[in-house]
Structure 1
Amino acid sequence: MPVKRNNFKTQDIERHVGQRIRERRTMLGLTQQQLAELIGVTYQQAHKYERGINRVSAGRLYELATVLGVDVNFFFAGLNETGEGESFSARQRMCLDLARNFAKIDDERQQDAIAQLARVLAREHHGDE
């Protein structure tokens, strides 16, 4: 029995994978330059991966997954039936920005204080659920 082919466009998948690479890199507080160095490519190549301009080979995708601390499947999560990646909501962008800035704080006491503040605010907002 033939397998039904999805309507995915290769370009859409490349853009989605690139978006997921950027999302994870941002969450870890890494710059494109730092990521490029970790996987042994130029800054320009890392930029092209994230934009979906250049295709990421299977070997490179595995290397990215290892460096970014995720399973290879992470890069394909959220791909919907039409093959388009889900775009980030304003709230998701805010969370990514918060994670990126949090990772830039060198003082561990300040990080602990911010984490504690977030826990307190979350409890106040949601009550004792």
Structure 2
Amino acid sequence: MKKVPNPIDRHVGSRVRMRRILLGMSQEKLGEALGLTFQQVQKYEKGTNRIGASRLQQISQTLNVPPAFFFDGAPMIENANGSEHPMPGVAEDSHSSSFVLDFIATAEGLALNKAFARIPDAKVRKRIIELVNCLAAEDAPPPPPGKNGIN
């Protein structure tokens, strides 16, 4: 039976991948900096191998972020009594932040964010957001009756 990666391990790995890609660093280069093979970096990024505390500290220094960065938007964790709660310091709306992080971790999300960040004019950035919202609304299914004020 195949072992399923822990959701926290997958989340931390995806944050490692996102930061590595944002810096334009290959898995090979990150592996060299950590004294690992690129295959080990792949396993960390997929969450199939858990990252230990000292290794996470080393990764955070190499990627120039605090260790807490890797837990931002992490999924809910379960208490000993079985109740779920967000990890300390994690926003309450972890589902929507997880969706955003998943998008940013894609090639399209990274390219869009890098290009958007290079636009110096705040008014132009605001207009682009308005355009994207309009385009997204055109593709969205119509709201159910009564939800838009029309019955």
Alignment TM class, shorter chain as reference: 0.5 to 0.7
1:78 equivalent in alignment to 2:73: yes
Deviation at 1:31, TM superposition (A): 1.0
Which one of the candidate residues 36, 58, 63 is aligned to 2:58? Answer: 63
TM-score (norm. length: structure 2): 0.57
Seq. identity, %: 35
| 1:122 corresponding residue in structure 2 | 125
Greater helix share, 1 or 2?
1
Aligned equivalents of 1:126 and 1:47: distance in 2?
A: 34
Q: Give 2:60's aligned amino acid.
A: A
Aligned equivalents of 1:120 and 1:15: distance in 2?
A: 37
**Structure 1 residue ranges (4+ consecutive) displaced by more than 6 angstroms after TM superposition:** none
Assess if the C-alpha contact under 8 Å between 2:15 and 2:70 holds in 1.
yes
TM-score (norm. length: structure 1): 0.65
Aligned equivalents of 2:49 and 2:33: distance in 1?
A: 18
Q: Give 1:95's aligned amino acid.
A: G
Task: Name which structure has the greater RCO, CA cutoff 8 Å, separation 6+.
Answer: 1
Equivalent residues in 2 for 1:4-43, closer than 5 Å = 11-43=6-38
Q: Give 2:62's aligned amino acid.
A: V
| 2:110 corresponding residue in structure 1 | 96
Unaligned runs of 5+ in 2: 79-85, 87-93, 131-151
Aligned equivalents of 2:55 and 2:77: distance in 1?
A: 25
Q: CA RMSD in A?
A: 3.3
